[in-house]
Structure 1
Amino acid sequence: MNTDVTQREFPWGPASDGLDQPYWDGLLAGELRLQRCGNCAEWIWGPQWICGHCHTFDPGWEATPAIGTVYSWARSHYPFISELADRVPYVTVLVELPGAGNRRVLGILTGDDTDIRIGDPVVGHIELDEGATWPLLRWRRREGAQA
């Protein structure tokens, strides 16, 4: 892992313990990867060293479709993360992923964020901000889809 100081100017990327490294590598490869237990097939998020369902160690990582529905959302009018200061107000969504055992992941909603509702169908897309080392999963509402 490269620990160059210039990479630390953005507050996202792999944790120092390496547990979530496959998630970030997946984003670099253009896919959403979550943990899945090879023993009981339980989906796991956030990353864990052990499956909470069957207690098997070292769950694997699988690609899953970045398609889901808005489970919850919040509009931020203050830039809690300085790298998002030029984007306020912005909407953070908690997205439920039916293709991954209904696990929920966070992200920023891009595009039209007016009248956002719980249950809105969304699709993930991966963006690499200028100067950042690691991309982020962001969400937009699916065209023509109704909740």
Structure 2
Amino acid sequence: MSDTLLTPVHDADGEPFWEYAARGELRVQACADCSELRFPPRPCCPHCQSFDSAWRPMSGQGRIWSYVVPHPPLLPAYAARAPYNVILVELTEAPRIRLVGNLVTDPDAPLDSVPPDQVRIGARVRAVFGSDGLPRWVLERP
């Protein structure tokens, strides 16, 4: 096992997501024909089978749908950061879309910046983007 932190896997379908994130924008793939939002990105709409898509801007607002605090961390590189949270966020504009991330105090804060006992299902959060371009989440009202 490596001591390297996990990094996103970039593929042709998801590359626009990461390009927008690097600019501080949260966007989700939408079918250009039926307007259905989808995540993770894929080449074909699962609703109408269209191959035409667009990237729709999201407000970045959502709520914590679920979370976990890994015990122990699965990778050695994360051991020094434990305990830390991994949250699943339901987007306000698209409740069927849920994004995985970390709840932090500010965009470049460490993964353990929010104590696990302060994470609550249903808490309102908004997306922020660290200097590495990764989306993270902060509480709307800390």
TM range (shorter): 0.7 to 0.9
Whether the aligned pair in 2 keeps the contact of 1:93 and 1:106 (CA below 8 Å) is yes
- Which structure: greater strand fraction? 1
Deviations 1:24-48 (A, max 9, x none): 1011111011101111111100111
Whether the aligned pair in 1 keeps the contact of 2:5 and 2:78 (CA below 8 Å) is no
Give the distance between the partners of 2:136 and 2:121, measured in 1 at CA: 17
Q: Which runs of 5+ in 1 are unaligned?
A: 1-8, 129-133
Q: 1:81 to 1:62 in 2, by over 3 A?
A: farther
Shift of 1:61: 1.3
Give the distance between the partners of 1:139 and 1:124, measured in 2 at CA: 5
Partner SS, residue 34 of structure 2: coil
Q: Which residue of 1 aligns with 2:128?
A: 125
Q: Which runs of 5+ in 2 are unaligned?
A: 106-113
The aligned runs of 1:104-123 (5 Å cut-off) are 104-111=98-105, 112-113=114-115, 114-123=117-126
Q: 1:32 aligns with which of 13, 18, 26?
A: 26
| 2:35 maps to 1:41 | yes
TM-score by length of 1: 0.78
Over aligned residues, Cα RMSD in angstroms? 1.9
Partner SS, residue 109 of structure 1: coil
TM-score by length of 2: 0.80
Aligned length: 130
Q: Calculate percent identity across the aligned residue pairs.
A: 32
